[in-house]
Structure 1
Amino acid sequence: MLHNVLITGGSGYLGGTLLARMGAANLPPYGKLYASARTTAQADSLRQYGAQPLSFNLKDEAEIWASVVENKITVVYYLVDAISYGPPLFFIKALAEVKKRTGQTVHFLHTTGAKLFSSHAGAPTDRPLLDTDPRLYDIQKSQRSKLSLLQEAVNSSCAVTEQAEQHDVRSYIFVPCIVYGKSEGFGEPIATLRQIYKIVQAAKALKRVYRVDPDHPTWPVCHVVDNASLYIELLRKILIDGNPSHGKNGYYLASSGSIAWDDLYSAAGSALAKRGVVSSGEVEMADDQIMEEMGAALGAPKEFVPLQLGGRCTFTARRAGEELGWKPIYQPQHILETVDAEVGWILRHLEG
């Protein structure tokens, strides 16, 4: 029996590129492709990718149950909320019912983020933290963050793994990082909630680019096309019953490597100065007052500014290359080469 696949978040930045790339990916045969839609316009747009739109309320377990069970969906790509635990559990329970009725192996892919594996979340940063580390689940389970929202996301990630195991659902924790480049989908062309956007948003308001860390931390990066290709390669392995690592060994970091925040700040400062948005491309260290002002510009408490614009993350990708044969097109330094264009897109979005 062929797998039926559901992608949530197909109108978003990551999901849009995934959908746009699936048609040409030469995937093994599968049944129907479904994608979640909140509006009639989204539903119409999804059909161009060969996806059948489904509408459901993520907070309504009965609606999720009906969508998954009645359509015999066996693979769910969850790309919409890394924090809340309720909806993932609803999907896991529904997938378990599909397995019970059909006997098929069922899969739940949960999209989180590199922040859950960073200094912000209490992850170890004194050494490379490999996504193939057999102790990674236990490491994350023991993490404690000073930010309650981030701790909730860490808890949800662990709970997905635990509940999927309990319900005999194969789970995968997919981890995007600093993702850049234009989405190829019909929805968000740029990552409005991601780091480069926030750097530009804050700098535009304060007329200066500020760094938020006293040292010189690094963070993993990935082009949006490479991020989508990893989603696809994981699906390819599932469709051929290739038994990709899952559960407590199912962490997949989408990253070609890391860059220094300072290099990203400098590149953004130069691009903004060239356009007259900031008075100088030089990057200064933010003090407490500046943090307050940056928070106001970003619509967040100042305690959340370092979370959005900095931190140390030594999370390192190994599993995708070793198990799936994933090879990113773009190397880490490529982000610095394209910051100028990225800043231009962001400014047009902010001014629009």
Structure 2
Amino acid sequence: MPVLITGASGSQEQAEAVKEYDVLPFTLDLRDEKSVTKNIVDAQIFVVYFLVDAVNCDMQIPLIKALGDVKKQTGREVHFLHTTGAKMFSEHAGMPTDRRLVDTDPALYDLQKSSKSPHELFTKAANTNITVIETAEKYGVRSYIFVPCIVYGEGKGFGNKISIQTVAVVTAAKGSGTVYDVNPEDRTWPVCHIDDNTKLYVKLLKSILSGENSEYGKDGYYLASSGSMAWYDIYAAMAKALAKHAVISSPDVERADDAALDKMAQALGCPKDMVAVQLGGKCTFEAKRAYSLGWRPDHAPEHIVEVADAEVELILNHIGMTTGKIAKR
């Protein structure tokens, strides 16, 4: 069964790199609906893993429609996986944080559809999840919403080797000279080692290809997480590592005041009110559905602080040691 995994590539160099993994490069302009439909149908693609854009939905819709055409021609089930993010299930997106929010909650779709985010970006991203589910249902496609969280550890592929939130902590610390706590007390976030995150992608794909997975659509949310950690514990572990590497002078974590937020915003290249969005906040989302597939994480949530030194060293090797700005990757 042919599977398409979309990525933000396009160069000949990237196409050659893909071949090293015994994968056939498939060049496709995702914004050209006619081309998408023809190529997907001609290649008889039955599964699409969409990893390109968590915010917008303009590229997903043509792919879903094309899968619907494949199903009409073959009579076989077709599948579309959309990669979103834990922020879309957090206080940043207006989701409830006063209780556990498990990914098997039958009300999750309705909660996300009715959520009101204080940030337009997350309203748009949450709506994209809804659009994917509803469009897939309309065209007879089975949809899956895959949710990465704080991912740490070194990527093993040919592309990006580092993640997002831990990079933001390092970048902000380099620019401000200190690791600051931007959160009220009790702020936690789900975490996952990159290997466990990847393992769930693979486990889900195997369940799709074997025809054993019956949970999709409004019941198709899959969080990849071994559990949650307090932001402060993550800050503290990374502060010690940053001080060890002489990036900051003190391993102490300080409360962020207005002046600190200004410096962090400058380092991160974002408005001041978006600093906490990049490296803080509360998310009570918990993984449950993945376990029904037989997925088990190899790393406990506490592992992220145990390997903070290695994480910091990895990040410093990729973002450049002098400017505090994230290098292009």
Both proteins in one fold, TM over 0.5: yes
- Quote the Cα distance in structure 2 between the aligned partners of 1:230 and 1:153: 22
Q: Structure 2: give runs of 5+ residues left out of the alignment.
A: 322-329
Say which of 323, 329, 340 aligns to 2:298: 329
Quote the Cα distance in structure 1 between the aligned partners of 2:259 and 2:224.
35
CA distance in 2, matches of 1:349, 1:97: 42
Q: How many residues get paired? A: 321
Matched, 1:223 2:193: yes
Q: CA deviation at 1:289?
A: 2.6
1:64 is displaced (CA, Å) by 2.1
Give the corresponding residue for 1:8. Answer: 6
Q: Name which of 171, 174, 198 aligns with 2:143.
A: 171
2:222 & 2:213 partners in 1: Cα distance?
Answer: 14
The equivalent of 1:146 in structure 2 is: 118
Q: Partner of 1:6: helix, strand, or coil?
A: strand
Query: 1:49: how far off?
Result: 1.3
Indicate if the aligned counterparts of 1:202 and 1:209 stay in contact, CA closer than 8 A. yes
Mapped partners of 1:104, 1:114: distance in 2: 32
Is 1:262 matched with 2:260? no
CA shift, 1:61, in A, is 1.8
Q: What's 2:327 paired with?
A: none
> Take 1:316 and 1:81, find their aligned partners in 2: how far apart are those partners?
23
Q: Which one of the candidate residues 192, 217, 229 is aligned to 1:247? A: 217
Deviation at 1:66, TM superposition (A): 2.7
Partner of 1:86: helix, strand, or coil?
Answer: coil
Moved over 6 A (4+): none
Shift of residue 128, structure 1, vs aligned partner: 0.5
CA contact 2:41–2:66 (8 Å) conserved in 1: yes
Match of 2:324 in 1: none
Q: Following TM superposition, by how much is the alpha carbon of 1:65 offset from its aligned partner in structure 2, in angstroms?
A: 1.9
Match of 1:113 in 2: 85
Question: Secondary structure of the residue that 1:221 maps to in structure 2?
Answer: strand
Pairing partner for 1:280 from 250, 254, 264? 250
Q: Could you tell me the percent identity over the aligned residues?
A: 53
Q: Where in structure 2 are the equivalents of 1:1-352 lying within 5 Å?
A: 3-9=1-7, 37-191=9-163, 194-321=164-291, 323-351=292-320
Provide the C-alpha distance between the structure 2 equivalents of 1:148 and 1:52, rounded to a whole number of angstroms.
38
What secondary structure is seen at the aligned counterpart in 1 of 2:44? coil
Kept after mapping to 1: 8 A contact 2:175/2:266: no
- C-alpha distance after superposition, 1:60-117 (max 9, x if no partner): 2223223311211010001111001111111100100111111110000000000000
Correspondence for 2:326: none
TM superposition score normalised by structure 1: 0.89
Structure 1, unaligned runs of 5 or more: 12-36
Measure, in 2, the Cα distance between the counterparts of 1:62 and 1:303. Answer: 41
The alpha-carbon deviation at position 285 of structure 1 amounts to: 1.4
Q: Which residue of 2 aligns with 1:16?
A: none
Which residue identity is paired with 1:343?
Answer: V
Counterpart Cα distance in 1 of 2:38 and 2:11: 19
Counterparts in 2 of 1:67 and 1:285: CA distance versus 1, 3 Å: farther
Amino acid at match of 2:3: V
Q: CA deviation at 1:189?
A: 1.3
Report the residue type matching 1:53 in the other structure: P
> How far 1:215 moved relative to its partner?
1.7
Q: What SS does the corresponding residue of 2:45 show, helix, strand or coil?
A: coil
Task: Give the AA of the match of 1:312.
Answer: K
State the shift of 1:244 in Å.
3.1
Residues 225 and 244 of structure 1: CA distance in aligned 2, closer, same or farther (over 3 Å): farther
Give how far 1:293 is off.
1.8
Question: What amino acid maps onto 2:103 in structure 1?
Answer: D
Superposed displacement of residue 57, structure 1 = 2.3
CA deviation digits over 1:107-141, x for unaligned, max 9?
Answer: 00000000000010011101110101011100111
Q: Is the 8 A contact 1:115 1:313 kept in 2?
A: yes
Task: State whether residues 54 and 67 of structure 1, in contact with CA within 8 Å, keep that contact through their aligned partners in structure 2.
Answer: no
1:157 offset after TM fit, Å? 0.5
RMSD: 1.1
Deviates more, 1:294-303 or 1:196-205: 294-303
Deviation at residue 320 of structure 1 after TM alignment: 0.7
